[in-house]
Amino acid sequence: MKVRISFISISVLVLVCSILGFQTNLISEAAASNSRAKAKNVIFMIPDGFSPAYAANYRLYKGEPSVMDSMLVGMVRTYSADSALTDSAAAATAMATGYKTNNGMIGRTPDGIERKTILEAAREQGKAIGLVATSSITDATPAAFSSHVFSRKDESDIAQQQLQLADVLLGGGKLFFLPETMGGKQSSRNLLEEAKQRGYRVVENRAQLESASGNQVLGLFADGDMAPELDREHTNEPSLKEMTGKAIDILRRGKDGFFLLVEGSQIDSAGHYNDAAWAMKDTESFEEAVGLARKFAEEDGNTLVVIAGDHDTGGMTVGGYDQTDAKLEVLRQVHASGLYMTKELKNDRSNVKEVLKAYAGIDVTTEEEIAIINAADAMQAINHVISKRSLVGWHTYLHTGVDVPLYAFGPGSELFRGLHNNTDLPHLVSRAMNIDFGDEKYKK
């Protein structure tokens, strides 16, 4: 009898557990279904040149976790079709089209075939389209999402294609919208006038952007790249946060949703110059734009925010110079880029001490002064002094091939968990938006 009772008890227990397990599975599936709600809007944000080392150094610089830290979901592999070290053109093409390509190519695979971008797919679904960058708006990253050319240098051709796709274009690069532009492929067309005829409101400074209205805005705030955030006070240019906010305000009016690409371009520029203060200040500027985008997504409930670096620039380290510490607080005293400080030097560089004291809060040693005076490149020498004092190391002035962080928030964000190739990202975005983008991928 005892054996039978035990058997019955065990059978009942198994049945109860099975029922509870079934119910738990139903609850889990329901929760998963809810978490995979369709994203009406996507804000895709790219901190150009950003890597885990930038993230760690920025946390020390800020003194607390960044807005992005809580959104971390994975990592991204960055190699291009022809190199372990991608450039921005190939990286952005992969993130925009789902296809690997050669360095320097935009929106095309190595065989020259044009590949649809996720922005173009969103446009086919009736969504409003925006591009924001602190470089030229025709530079590699925004170009790869919005155009198809054989070389990233063909910036006038890129500008023409962007005007056919986007409702909002905000950044630098005014020269590439004018006739007989300098650099890249020459053009006889005045794209600024064509933009006005197409219905764009053309703005060229911060005040004009603030007051801009309408559903189409072209903002060109510099002839080439915009200023580093450290130097923006010497210009009339808007911040990345201000451009992002204006773009969202305009694009959100569309009844079918929107796709906004935002690039923090100057992080990459800082890495190429090994300018630690510039890198941290533009990361701060990018974080402010992220905070605004996330707040909008929280309030809206239908917006997916995705943040992915395209590659690492400079090989930044946390600590260096045979020291066992990091001193990022040194960078909080710096109020100008090394590029700007170099322009403030006299021809004989006799005012090195005055310039670094005024703009970096540093009392340079005699050894540091002599090194800057005698350097072949004064900017590199200034940046080396500041990096060494903050114990931020660098390995190169070029890109590296390390994996980069991936962040996501909002409906569909769970799709981005784990290690991904950069070619996966547009497919994950299309799944989150429930739009047709095709499953075919080109990987080397």
- Residues in binding site for Mg(2+): 48, 139, 141, 263
- Rounded Cα distance between 82 and 9, Å, is 65
Reported as half-sphere exposure (CB side, CA atoms, 13 A), residue 435 has a value of: 25
Crossing angle of helices 425-433 and 88-97, in 10° steps, is 30
- Rounded Cα distance between 325 and 159, Å, is 46
b/e per residue, 262-273, with b = 16+ CB within 10 A? Answer: bbbbbbbbbbeb
- Rounded Cα distance between 271 and 58, Å, is 13
Binding residues for Zn(2+): 48, 268, 272, 310-311, 399
- Rounded Cα distance between 73 and 75, Å, is 7
Active site residues: 88
Angle at 139 (CA atoms; ends 254, 360), nearest 5 degrees: 105
Find where tokens 């429930």 sit: 434
- Rounded Cα distance between 415 and 133, Å, is 26
Residue 197, CA distances (Å) to 4, 50, 78, 179, 223 in order = 88, 38, 40, 16, 21
Contact 372, 343 (CB under 8 A): no
Binding residues: 48, 139, 141, 263, 268, 272, 310-311, 399
